[in-house]
A and B are shown apart, each in its own frame.
Chain A
């Protein structure tokens, strides 16, 4: 061996050692390396506020707070701050909750019925800038009966009301001293939940510590960090570098972790649908024949396969196919011939340029989609191309919500919605004619007396069988006169290091990331031996 070669080898060895020494120790690179008692999650959006009075955690799953009730993995209601499910009396107009004994806020003060009453009254106060106040519209009065009983009086019998009481409860002795809109409670919350916020570095991360005095037992995961990383690629990169234990990712990036044996991908089924609104006022989209033809002409399965990479399912209505409330036999095939037959029968005859015409009117309309949303854009383009095969011209056009909103009355919109908890929550606001064009409710201004009747029956009925029959009627009616073309239900994807056992996901609403995902019950996680 010549001197030169020895020297070269020595340099190479030194370099290798140097690089190894530099690689950040203890950063838990390659997943699996970090402690199971600490979890770091990457999410895309930061909450504006952590105050339930302004809407934080209103659907449950807040780490800092608890509601009277909570949901289990199957979204069934279970008691949380209440000792049991509510007693319903007065024909469904009075709900009485008894509080669990011995629950304390993280500052040591006991929870009482007054805190519950304060929370609901403040949310219902017109001066509180809560965006979801209308969800509690049914409440006429809430009052305390002693230290451990809360009584809600409703304006009308409301079967789904119990599902609203997952709303987090705040301590009156802290939040009551401040203006709910601007007070420091927004950033320094105090609750009864499994975790206590220890630090919120705005724009960077939120750090939580396990609450050792949690009434549900001290969590095994001792620290929980939510890192705010808006960019999908950066989030995936930091997950790969071992900086994060888990993250929410779009399908194409989640797929890059498929072969990683230290990480698992979780697909959460959702109520999150993509649909095209077909405005009733528009003379083309308002025509039932056009609506039915479009419904038959769209190839939903192709959208799931091509746009969502298989991470989703075809939507035959607002409820997903495997939901207990879903009417199984409304599943219908992609049938172009049927679409053409419907249009022929209704007098829409093929015109010169291939677009059908009736009474001198072309079967054409504009479909708006929010700019920057790739998934919706792909849906819109696929929809336009499917419609074209049936002789209907759909002009897909991107715009911001500021532009879309005033045009929602006449132009179709590629919309996305979906609520969890009860069919009433999502369906009533989507379809009831009394809410036509009310903000973003019933965007298509759908107006169908049979559907209205079914919605009312579903809302007020107390008997589960009667409610089921009502939602069954509604879904069949919606097939006969589809005011929306439902396209897909979208799965939400999460990639997580494999250091805990028995993780689950809940069925998720349209919004996701912070409260949902496999970490919906991080307080119950158990380390792998």
Chain B
């Protein structure tokens, strides 16, 4: 297990290097002008001299390979550079926001996995039953619904019609301190929406996996031995049925990140997602590279996690073979 993790970590280094190089190359080829992005709306009133001076000061005309190398070498020493668009050190931009994004994603992911599994098992118990049909159609419906739309709907219902939950922000807009209670109540809607958008995948996979397992010989054998329905369902069928879900956990990470972007926008959640979009459209190389590295690392870690879980739960899989 440790060897697998170690090998993956070794493999991650070149992947990350290539990805950051790609980010610099793509950003350099993009039609966005870093000078205009830096100046913002003021660029539309600026004369050529001002734009040229900014171009010079920002060092925009250096080749992307040079900039990439500069960034990489200083990043290795722990200096991630300065974000032009945020006018802050990159480390500070990420430090201020990453925690909130991680909290949002972790809660949403936890809820989605638990609730999805629960619904999946309920549906799989009697394929074709009312519960099954309700869960399945709900899942397909949610799968098709855009996250943005669900989010607005949730705001309308919970914040506007019922007035039970805050409509956005990390704390009450007027409050000056970040308290755990405030964050918890403000987290409910965004995390709930994000969880709901991820939930159908887990519910459907678990339903399929468990239903298949229930029809297989080992489970029928267990039933024949007179084991209780509960043991059969949870001890045998669920354990087999969960295996595909473990792969799913890894592969849902990128989707979780894009979903978080929309959710953070709607709920003014001060996470990293908005900064990512801004960094991309502003061709803010240092920030963009750091954020892409983070996202790539998250995906790689997600895959590793899936493989480790697989190895732990599936007796047929040996770590030494992976």
A interface residues (Cβ-Cβ under 8 A, vs B): 19, 22-24, 27-29, 34, 38, 40, 48-49, 51, 54-55, 126-127, 129, 131-134, 181-182, 186-187, 198-199, 201-205, 207, 223, 225, 227-231, 233-234, 237-238, 240-241, 243-244, 400-403, 417, 419, 429, 435, 438-441, 511
Whether A234 contacts B168 by the Cβ 8 Å rule is yes
A contact residues around B160 at 8 Å (CB)? 237, 240-241
Q: Cα distance A186–B45 when bound, in Å?
A: 22
- Whether the Cβ atoms of B167 and A237 lie closer than 8 Å is yes
Q: Which of the residues B36, B44, B46, B169 comes within 8 Å of A205, measured between beta carbons?
A: B169
* B176:A207 contact, CB within 8 angstroms: yes
| B43 on the A face (CB < 8 A) | yes
**B97 within 8 Å of A by Cβ?**
yes
Known: A131-B42, A228-B268. Contact between A202 and B97, CB under 8 A? yes
Contact B54 A131 (CB under 8 A): yes
**Closest 6 pairs (CB-CB, A-B):** A131-B42, A204-B270, A23-B163, A131-B39, A186-B87, A22-B164
A134 interface neighbour in B33, B46, B271, Cβ under 8 Å: B46
Pick from A55, A133, A203: contact of B270, CB under 8 Å? A203
Given contacts A134-B47, A440-B46, contact A243 B168 (CB under 8 A): yes
Assembled-state Cα–Cα distance A225/B268 (Å):
14
Is B32 within 8 A of A241, CB to CB?
no
Cβ-neighbour of B32 out of A51, A199, A243, A402 (below 8 A): A402
Interface of A is mostly: loop
- Seed contacts A182-B87, A234-B168; 15 additional CB < 8 Å A-B pairs: A22-B164, A27-B172, A131-B43, A131-B54, A132-B50, A134-B50, A203-B264, A204-B269, A204-B270, A205-B268, A207-B176, A237-B167, A240-B160, A402-B36, A441-B48
- Knowing A49-B87, A129-B58, A131-B54 are in contact, say whether A429-B31 is a contact too (CB < 8 A): no
Interface presence of B292 (CB below 8 A): no
A49 to B38, CA, bound (A): 11
Instruction: Determine how close the nearest CB of chain B comes to the CB of A82; give it in whole angstroms.
Output: 26
Given A131-B42, A181-B57, A402-B31, also A48-B173 (CB < 8 A): no
Residues of B within 8 A of A34 (CB): 174
Residue B209 at the chain A interface, CB threshold 8 Å: no
What A residues does B174 contact at CB under 8 A? Answer: 28, 34, 38, 40, 223, 225
B interface residue count range (under 10 / 10 to 19 / 20 to 34 / 35 or more)? 35 or more
Stretch at the interface among B14-22, B151-159, B301-309: B151-159
Whether B164 contacts A19 by the Cβ 8 Å rule is yes
Among B43, B47, B93, B156, contact of A237 (Cβ-Cβ < 8 Å)? B156
A24, closest chain B residue (CB): B163
Known A34-B174, A129-B57; contact A202-B86, beta-carbon cutoff 8 A:
yes
Q: Which residues of A contact B156 (CB under 8 A)?
A: 237
A359 CB, nearest partner CB in chain B, Å: 35
Are the C-beta atoms of A186 and B88 separated by less than 8 Å? yes
Contact A198 B270 (CB under 8 A): no
Residue of A nearest to B93 (CB): A202
State A109–B36 Cα separation when bound (angstroms).
Answer: 37
Complex interface: chain A residues within 8 A of B270 (CB) = 201-204
> Are B47 and A439 in contact, CB atoms less than 8 angstroms apart?
yes
A243 contact set on B, CB distance < 8 A: 159, 166-169, 172-173
Docked CA distance A230–B168 (Å): 12
Q: Which residues of B contact A202 (CB under 8 A)?
A: 86, 88, 93, 96-97, 270, 275
Which residues of B sit under 8 angstroms from A429, Cβ to Cβ?
Answer: 45, 47
Known: A202-B96, A204-B268. A438 touches B47 (CB 8 A): yes
Contacting residues, chain A, for B50 (C-beta < 8 A): 131-134, 439
Assuming the contacts A127-B57, A429-B45, asked whether A48 and B265 have C-beta atoms less than 8 A apart, the reply is no
A233 near B152 with CB under 8 A, answer: yes
What is the minimal beta-carbon distance from A445 to any residue of chain B, in angstroms? 13
CB distance B266 to A439 under 8 Å? Answer: no
Q: Is the CB of B176 within 8 A of A23?
A: no
Q: Considering the chains assembled together, what is the distance between the CA atoms of A237 and B275 in angstroms?
A: 23
B103–chain A nearest beta-carbon distance, Å: 14
Give bound CA distance, A214 to B287, whole Å.
38
| CB pair A48 B85 closer than 8 Å | yes
Contact status A48-B170, CB under 8 Å: no
**B87 near A24: Cβ-Cβ < 8 Å:** no
Most chain A CB neighbours (cut-off 10 Å) among B97, B163, B164: B163
Complex: chain B residue closest to A209, CB-CB: B176
What's the minimum C-beta distance from B164 to chain A, rounded to whole angstroms?
A: 4
Q: How far is the CB of A341 from the nearest CB of chain B, in Å?
A: 36
Instruction: Report how far A241 CA is from B155 CA in the complex, Å.
Output: 9
| Minimum distance in angstroms from A238 CB to a CB of chain B | 5
Q: Residues of B contacting A127 with CB < 8 Å?
A: 57
- Residues from chain A with Cβ under 8 Å of B312 in the complex: none
A205-B48 CB under 8 A given contacts A230-B265, A400-B31: no
Alpha-carbon gap, A226 to B93, bound state (A): 20
Task: Find A129's partner among B38, B166, B173, B266 (CB 8 Å cutoff).
Answer: B38
Chain A neighbourhood of B39, CB < 8 A = 131
Whether a CB of chain A sits under 8 angstroms from the CB of B51 is yes
Give every chain B residue within 8 A of A54 (Cβ-Cβ).
Answer: 87
- With both chains docked as a complex, state the minimum distance between the C-beta of A234 and any C-beta of chain B, in angstroms: 6
A188 CB to nearest chain B CB (Å): 11
Q: Which residues of A contact B32 (CB under 8 A)?
A: 402
Residue numbers in A under 8 Å from B57 (CB-CB)? 126-127, 129, 181
**Does B125 interact with chain A (Cβ within 8 Å)?**
no
Q: Answer yes or no: B49 CB below 8 A from chain A CBs.
A: yes
User: Is B88 a contact of A187 with CB atoms below 8 Å?
Assistant: yes
Residue of A nearest to B38 (CB): A129
Q: Which residues of A contact B43 (CB under 8 A)?
A: 131, 439-440
Given contacts A199-B176, A241-B167, A243-B168, contact A129 B85 (CB under 8 A): no
Docked pose: A51 CA to B160 CA in angstroms: 37
Q: In the complex, which residues of chain B have a beta carbon less than 8 angstroms from the beta carbon of A38?
A: 174
The answer, yes or no, to whether B53 is at the interface (CB within 8 Å) is yes
Nearest Cβ on chain B to A183's Cβ, whole angstroms: 9
Q: Which residue of A lies closest to B185 (CB)?
A: A24
B295 interface contact, C-beta 8 A: no
A residues near B41, Cβ cutoff 8 Å: 511
11 contacts between A and B (CB under 8 A): A24-B164, A29-B163, A134-B49, A181-B57, A182-B89, A202-B97, A203-B270, A234-B266, A429-B47, A439-B51, A441-B45
Nearest Cβ distance between residue A128 and chain B, in whole angstroms? 8
Does chain A have a CB within 8 A of B218? no
How far is B155's CA from A127's CA once the two chains are assembled, in angstroms?
46
